[in-house]
Structure formats: C-alpha cells, structure tokens
Amino acid sequence: MKDAAIKGIIPPILTPMNDDESVNEKELRHQVNRMIEAGVHGIFAFGTNGESYALSPEEKVRVLEVVVDETRHRVPVYAGTGCVTTAETIKMSKKAQEIGADVLSVIVPWFAAASQDELYDHYKAVAEAVDLPIVLYNIPARTGNALAPATVARLAKDVPNIMGAKDSSGNFDNMKQYIELTSGLDKGFSVLSGNDSLILPALVFGGKGGIAGCANVFPHTMVEIYTAFTAGDMERARKVQDSIRIFRNCFKFGNPNTIVKLAAGLLGDPVGPCRRPFCKITDQGMAELKKTLELCKANGLH
C-alpha cells in the first residue's frame, strides 16, 4: 500500500497489556480485527493512545510486526516513528518501513524547544531517509513545540512524500490554516483531526478525517461520522459527532489515554490498564465513567 490513501477514521490502536505490563499480543490481534470489522480506514500502531511514550524501541518493533501481520493489507498501517532526535527518528522510520508500515506518523520532537527552521530540517531529513508517505503530527500540549501552519505548508510544498498532517492542538483555526495553506497542492495533502470532537468540522472545511482515540471504545460510531459526511447526510453526521461528547467529558477525570483504556476494559475488551504511573482515576471518576458508558450504550454508541 505504498500509495495508501490518507483519509477516514484511523484508530491509534491501544497496546493491550498483561498483568505484568508486558504486551498482550493475542489481545492486540483481537483489537486489530475488531477495528477492521467496524469499518475503520487504517490502523495506527503506537500512537498516543497506544502508549508510544511508555514503550521501548524493541516493544514498538514487536507491536508493529504484530499489527502488520494481523492487518494483512486489509487497511493501511500507520506507524508512529517520531523520537526526540532526528537520528533516532530516521532509525525508527527505516525500521517501520522494513517491517511493512504503509504510512509514517512523525510527532514533533519534545522536551527541548525547537525553532520552526529546526522542525523543517528535522522533517525534511526524515522524509528523505525513507520511501513512505509521512504524516506530520502536531500536539503542542504534550511536546512543548508547535508546528506552525506556515511550516506545514513549506514542508508540504518542498518534500514529495510529506503527504499529510495530524493536528491535535485543539485549536480549530490552526487546523483550518493547515487545510487552507495546503489545499492547492497537485500531489494532494491530507489534514486529519487529532481531536475527536473536531472531526466533522475538519471534514466540512476540507480535511480528510481523523486519527480518533475514541474509536478504541466506539469504533462503529466514529466511522459513522465519516460515512454519513461522505454520503452527504450532514444531519446524521452532526448527530453522531455530538453523541461522543458525553464520553469525552470523562477526560476531566484523568489522562485521556487512561480513560479510553479503562472504558474499553469496562465494555469487555481485556486491554489491561495503561502502564504505571499513568493508570489511575479517582473512585468518583470511575463511578462517573461507568454511568457515562451505560448512557452511551443506551444512546446507541458502539
């Protein structure tokens, strides 16, 4: 799938854990099939919801091997290969290409402050080292570095295999500028929402879909946002988009990754908790999460 279309609903698939915090490969395979059977348009290994920050390089390699093997070319496989340094990112990106990933998602480097010129040079070097489409990943609240719209436009114009950008800033105007500044490129360029509440607005303004953490809990519902929109049923698309708000409101009780993984477990998928220390919510939060999931089920989310 070298020319994989970057569009639709792509879950950053959970990395299931055993009680000893080792990766549960059997359940990972089940989650791959669960997502594909729900109609998702790609599988994204070790994204933020996949606890990329908590996995060793060796574990990332094994997770990707399992995902690629189980997906069997039914949908494109995305791999989150971004690291702090350019050299590490190139190494991980080359390994992902060797394993069989179809698309690379490269998060903005974190911790140390980076200028826009440094970010441009970083992404250009990574893209030139591999022969796969690359999706830029902007999530400044987690990385401390923001990828400016002008830098996204410059990279999209200058680097042939930089084919998309995921915006998780939560700032819709920022994502809208990504769309506006790249919309005229002949090669095509896909802007994806990294905020599940903004998938439909992104689509309306020319975006191509979303990398949707909530799809790990309600894959059919998240896919329906895209399906209804592409079918021209805006009323249905709006209704489905709005339906996930009550679940997202539970993110106030803890790390969103923790909430998503706990919710999947409560609904019957034995994915285990997030790796410590990012694994707990208060008793009140758990009670509210259980109540919310019951309401979601009653409202038809699945």
- 8-234 to CATH, choices 3.40.50.800, 3.40.50.1010, 3.20.20.70, 3.90.1510.10: 3.20.20.70
Is the peptide bond preceding residue 277 cis, with omega within 30 degrees of 0? yes
pLDDT at site 2? 55
Please give the model's pTM, rounded to 2 decimal places.
0.96
Q: Could you tell me which residues come within 8 angstroms of residue 167 by beta carbon, excluding any fewer than 6 positions away?
A: 138, 174, 175, 178, 191, 192, 193, 194, 195
Question: How many whole angstroms from its chain centre is CA 224?
Answer: 17
**R_g over Cα of the chain:** 18
Q: What is the pLDDT of residue 1?
A: 44
pLDDT, block means (10 residues), the chain with 302 residues: 83 97 98 98 96 96 98 98 98 98 98 97 98 97 96 98 97 97 93 97 98 98 98 98 97 95 97 94 96 96 95
Active site residues: 137, 166
Please give the pLDDT value at position 184: 87
DSSP 213: G
Domain ranges of the chain: 8-234
Q: CB-based contacts of 256: which residues, under 8 Å, 6+ apart?
A: 49, 213
Facing residues of 9 across strands? 210
